[in-house]
């Protein structure tokens, strides 16, 4: 495949903000609470993706988080196809598919934690395409795409946003958690376990 054909393929694996809006993703009933819940459970640092599955009434039924870096370090960098495969793999781990249903009853949402501003980027377009395609392949409705940046959180295409949590909130919460430990605990060596991904199945 020549470079021109490859570039065309990669471009097709991305959505513009207008294309995303035209797809009419379901409007979140309470985006502030959803973002707060996903952040509380997964505490994403910049470079982390959180995938959530909402039930029929909009509550989080399952969720998973994983790092973006392993995807972008592959030859050619990350694109919508790689992102789609990563989302789909985690969906399969946390919740059964709904492909046998006539109409989707559950909704997949995605929150990308990254540095910078709310301004749309090509990476956002690739993740939006990935969420849309992965949702279809798992029998889910494609829901909201949320960015968590230095400026706070924002639901793309919805204009709803807030200042907290933001991309640095995970570090602030870690400091507060350590400072609340008893003095004896602070004197002991701190053991930190870093897993490649975080999975939460069932209710939060």
Q: Which residue has the higher pLDDT, 123 or 175?
A: 123
List of residues 6+ apart from 112 with CB closer than 8 A: 48, 49, 50, 68, 123, 124, 127, 145, 146, 147, 148
User: What residue has token string 């492909």?
Assistant: 99
Q: How far apart are CA 133 and CA 143, in angstroms?
A: 11
pLDDT tens sequence across 14-44: 999 999 999 888 899 999 999 999 999 999 9
pLDDT confidence bin for 76, thresholds 50/70/90:
low
Q: What is the pLDDT of residue 170?
A: 83
pLDDT confidence bin for 70, thresholds 50/70/90:
confident
Q: Which two tokens stand for residue 114?
A: 């990254």
Q: Which of 99-113, 137-151, 164-178 shows the lowest per-residue confidence on average (mean pLDDT)?
A: 164-178
User: What's the order of all strands across the beta sheet hosting 60-67?
Assistant: 161-162, 152-155, 141-149, 107-113, 48-54, 60-67, 197-201
Q: What is the pLDDT of residue 199?
A: 54
pLDDT tens sequence across 91-134: 999 999 999 998 999 999 999 999 999 999 999 999 999 999 99
pTM: 0.80
Q: How far apart are CA 142 and CA 108, in angstroms?
A: 5
List of residues 6+ apart from 6 with CB closer than 8 A: none
List of residues 6+ apart from 38 with CB closer than 8 A: 44, 50, 52, 60, 63, 111
Q: Which domains are assigned to the chain?
A: 31-185+193-201 (3.40.140.10)
Q: What is the pLDDT of residue 72?
A: 79
pLDDT confidence bin for 185, thresholds 50/70/90:
very low
Q: What is the pLDDT of residue 147?
A: 97
pLDDT confidence bin for 179, thresholds 50/70/90:
very low
């Amino acid at each position: 495949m020549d470079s021109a054909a490859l570039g065309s393929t990669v471009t097709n694996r991305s959505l513009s903000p207008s294309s995303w809006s035209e797809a009419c993703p379901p409007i979140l009933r309470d985006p502030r609470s959803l973002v707060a819940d996903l952040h509380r459970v997964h505490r994403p640092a910049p470079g982390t993706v959180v995938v959530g599955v909402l039930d029929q009434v909009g509550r989080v039924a399952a969720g998973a988080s994983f790092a973006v870096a392993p995807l972008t370090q592959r030859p050619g960098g990350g694109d919508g196809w790689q992102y789609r495969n990563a989302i789909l793999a985690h969906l399969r781990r946390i919740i059964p598919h709904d492909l046998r249903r006539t109409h989707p009853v559950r909704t997949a949402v995605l929150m990308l934690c990254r540095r910078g501003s709310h301004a749309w980027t090509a990476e956002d377009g690739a993740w939006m395409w990935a969420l849309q395609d992965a949702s279809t392949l798992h029998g889910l409705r494609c829901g909201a795409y949320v960015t968590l940046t230095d400026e706070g959180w924002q639901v793309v295409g919805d204009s709803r946003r807030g200042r907290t949590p933001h991309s640095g909130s995970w570090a602030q919460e870690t400091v507060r958690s350590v400072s609340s430990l008893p003095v004896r605990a602070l004197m002991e060596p701190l053991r930190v376990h870093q897993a490649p991904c975080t999975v939460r199945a069932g209710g939060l």
